[in-house]
Chains A and B, each alone.
Chain A
Amino acid sequence: MAYRVLIVDDSPAMRSFVRRVMELSGFDLSNCFEAGDGAEALRLLGSEWVDAILTDINMPRMDGEELLRRLSGDELLRSIPAIVISTDATSTRIDRLTTLGAKGYITKPFLPEQLREVLERTLGAAND
C-alpha cells in the first residue's frame, strides 16, 4: 500500500525538509501533498484522501490548532492521523493539541530520524 501524506506548513523550506525525510524513509513522493496553511489544507482534503497529515501550528489565515479543530469536527476527516511539527514545546500546547486529536508531536528543531520514527509509528514502515 502506498501511503499518501499531506504536509501543512507556511515555510517552503520546512516543507522541502519534511519531503526529503519522507523520501529517505522510503515513502513515495508522488503521494506527498503540500499546503501553506490550514485553509489550503482543508481545500485539498475536499478532493484528495490522505493517510496522514503533518502540520505546523503557527501559520497565517488558519493555524494548525484550528485545522485540527475542523478535522476533528468532520466525520470522515477525523479518522486521518495528524502529527504536529512545531517550535512550541510547552506542555500547555501539547495537551491542547492532544485533546484536539493530534496523534503525534515533534518539536523543532528535530533530527530527521525522529520524524521517521513518528511516521513509522503512525503509518507502519514505509512502502517500498
Chain B
Amino acid sequence: MDQIVVGMADCRVADGSGQVLTTYALGSCIGLALYDPQTKIGGLLHFMLPDSTIDTARGKANPYMFADTGIPLLLEQVCARGAAKRRLIVRAAGGAQMMDQENVFEIGKRNYLAMRKLLWKVGILVHAEAVGGVRSRTVRLDLETGKFWLSEGGEQKELGAGGQRPGGK
C-alpha cells in the first residue's frame, strides 16, 4: 500500500491501485474527496478557511488553504488526470467546532457552508459527509476500492456505505 499524506492546506491527486490518500487532524478544516470509480482516479483536498478574498495574496500563494480557490483546483486536477465529473463520488469530513467553545468564530461551520456553495456552483453533489460535532477526524481514500475511511474518537468506519447521507447532521 502506497500511502500519500495530504497535509493541511494541501491537495493530492492520484491514480493506480495500491494508493491511499490520507489526511489527519481535520478539526474545523474539511477534507474533501473526489473519486471516479471507472478510472480509479481520486483526489483529496484539506482546506482550512472558507474565503480567500480576505487575504488574496495568500490565496494566490496557497490556493489549497481556502474553499473558494482549493475546490475548483481539486476538480480541475482530478479531471485533467482523466476522471469524468459526472462519475465522481464526493465525500467530505470535518468542519467541527474545535478551539472556540463559545463558537464565536464558527470556522468549522463557515468552511462547511463555503464548501457547499462551491460544490453547488461547480456542479457536484455530495454522496456522504461527516461534518460538525466537536471531534477531530482523520480520513483515508483508497483508490483501489474507492472506499472512504473515517477515524473519529478512536473508532474507524467507512463513510458512504448506506449511512451519513447529507442532511443528517
Contacts and interface: CB of A to CB of B under 8 A. Distances in A.
A and B touch in the complex (CB under 8 A): yes
Chain A CB within 10 Å, residue with most, of B125, B127, B165, B166: B125
B167 A110 contact: yes
Interface string A27-56: 000000000000000000000000000000
Interface in B94-141: 120, 123-127
Contacts of B127: 113
A24 B167 contact: no
A12 interface: no
Given A24-B124, A25-B125, A116-B125, A111 B166 contact: yes
Contacts of B126: 113
Interface string A62-99: 00000000000000000000000000000000000000
Describe A's contact surface by its main secondary structure. helix
Give the secondary structure class of B's interface. loop
Contacts of A23: 123
A113 B166 contact: yes
Contacts, number: 23
Contacts of B86: 26, 128
Interface residues of B, number: 10
A114 B165 CA distance: 8
A117 B124 contact: no
A112 interface: yes
Contacts of A110: 167
Q: Which of A21, A23, A116 has the most CB of B within 10 A?
A: A116
Contacts of B124: 24
Nearest to B86: A26
B165 A117 contact: yes
A114 B123 contact: no
17 contacts: A21-B125, A23-B123, A24-B124, A24-B125, A25-B125, A26-B86, A110-B167, A112-B125, A113-B125, A113-B127, A113-B165, A113-B166, A113-B167, A114-B166, A116-B125, A117-B165, A128-B86
Given A111-B166, A113-B165, 20 more contacts: A21-B125, A23-B123, A24-B123, A24-B125, A25-B125, A26-B86, A110-B167, A111-B167, A112-B120, A112-B125, A113-B125, A113-B126, A113-B127, A113-B166, A113-B167, A114-B166, A114-B167, A116-B125, A117-B165, A128-B86
